């Protein structure tokens, strides 16, 4: 099997192509990180759920007191 010698231009072209792929990969990772790290919607839902649960507990306690 013959080994093809690469010219300096071939090496430069390969390096530039790898650089472009790396830039795209980093951009994708940053986008994924922003989506994963965005916890505001999750916290908002948790706060709404906790508020609803607190309202139910208070209502049950008030109803029990009135029955006595």
Domain residue spans of the chain: 8-37, 43-68
Number of residues written out for the chain: 68
CA dihedral 15, 17, 19, 22 (to 10 degrees): -130
The pLDDT of residue 2? 57
> Cα(28)–Cα(34) distance, rounded to whole angstroms?
10
CB neighbour list of residue 14: distance below 8 Å, 6 or more residues apart = 6
Convert the pLDDT of each residue in 31-54 to its tens digit. Answer: 999 888 888 888 999 999 999 999
Convert the pLDDT of each residue in 1-42 to its tens digit. Answer: 556 788 999 999 999 999 999 999 999 999 999 888 888 888
Terminal Cα-to-Cα distance of the chain (whole angstroms) = 95
């Amino acid at each position: 099997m013959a080994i093809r010698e690469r010219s300096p231009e071939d090496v430069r072209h390969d390096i530039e192509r790898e650089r472009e792929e790396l830039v795209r990969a980093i951009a994708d990772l940053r986008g994924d990180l922003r989506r994963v790290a965005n916890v505001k919607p999750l916290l908002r839902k948790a706060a709404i759920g906790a508020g609803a649960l607190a309202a139910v507990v208070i209502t049950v306690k008030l109803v029990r007191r009135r029955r006595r």
